[in-house]
Structure 1
Amino acid sequence: MQLQTKDTLATLHLDPRTKLYLLIVGNVALFLAPSLLYEIALVVCVVILGILVGAKRFTVRMAAVYAGMVVLHIIGTNYLTGTLQIAIVTFTVFIRKIFPCAMLGGILVSTTRVNEFMAAMNRIHMPKAMVIPLTVMLRYFPMVHEDWGYISDAMRMRDVAPTVKSLLTHPARTVECIYVPMMMSALKVADELSAAAVTRGLENPKPRTCLQEIHFSVADAVCFILFTLFMSVSIWLKLKGGAG
């Protein structure tokens, strides 16, 4: 199972510690964004980052969904009224806040190898109780996504598609043929990864080695400063607005 699913045309390599920092700081900045334009500017930076580090396909797809939510939000705000407006605007605001965070998380998962991540976390002396679950998580989501593709392909041969329409028209059959196998597969993957973690000695207290050099670069510094600036401005504007 290959964890790293990034495109081959990656022009930027960031330290795993930088990616984890950007994930945390980016989430804070997004949830505290004072305006839609400010939020869009931050998302544009995330999209550019995702393309540069090699997660182009994933980033473009997520950006397209986010753009659709922004358009729907503008339509709901300016052209709808009453209960429908409240429902549409509330839904789009929720999705707008979640998708960029998921985009940052997806970039971290798809462009970071397990050995790189563990070596980087050991450099900052993160406790094993936190490193091991995070490491298992890095492998869990790609494996579950792969199993989802296999199950979906198999069920399409039986005319059962994993779509909302199929769930509404044939709910019992869809749940039985797709979602139940998916839940069983997810549980099996969790057990397999736990066993693999013990077998590979992830709980070994000795310092780990890594063939790939882990270090900060100019790109790490630029991303660090840019996202910290976004978060600082978001917090400052939020406090200023609250004080006013």
Structure 2
Amino acid sequence: MKTLFAASCGLIMIAGTAAAGPLQAAAATKPAVRPVVIEMFLSQACKSSPPAAVTLRDLAGRRDVVALAYHVPYWDELPSHKSGAWADPFAREAFAERQKRYNKRIRRTDMVYTPQAVIDGVFDATGSKRDMLDARITEAQVLDEHARPAPPLLKVARGDKIRVQIDGVGAPYDAFAVTFRPQALTEVESGDNAGAVFDEINVVTAVATLTQGAEGAQSLAFEAPPAGEDCAVLVQERGQGRIVAARYCSPR
């Protein structure tokens, strides 16, 4: 399949179709109590990504947000005219595939871009636009409140293992353990961001499936992340649909 790269960092097309506009929601409705998940797809090789890393850091300070940074590798192979290429040390092909699945469902296109924020698996926004992200968070909260009278139960307890309890989802669901580095400092030596320092939070290093297509209550356990890393648990409608519950593994 032929791949078409945009002239500058931002958009990659893989035989796509036109994007669908985001849903609009009334802002006056009371927000839901569970945290909204922001999945930020970005790259240290993309010149538009540094502001998105700053935006995600700011959003991570909100108690009603679970913020996660997924680095994607598709910009690594494109050298800068001045400084060569840069291989993002946190980029994983699996994260690019996750982003592609979101775009096929949310935007009805095979096009992907950075920086892109996906909110609760149902909305997307340009990752550096804080006002747009705040609006999408509110939309996700409103949607969540209207979708069910109460959020599903998700309990996460950290000990020798991470133990998870899930109940009340009301539909088939998948659950994921997302491992991340709470802090990551990278000096970029080449590429479009040569000389820049990425001072990031919650940089994802791995995503593991805990259960797939589950129905009803589940009690799960998995190994705690290694020293220097933390994790979050995401409960998502089957097939990488809407995120219905999320928690960090460590208290915030």
TM-score normalised to structure 1 length: 0.26
TM-score normalised to structure 2 length: 0.25
Of Structure 1 and Structure 2, which has the larger fraction of its residues in helix?
1
Kindly name which structure, 1 or 2, has the bigger radius of gyration based on alpha carbons. Answer: 1
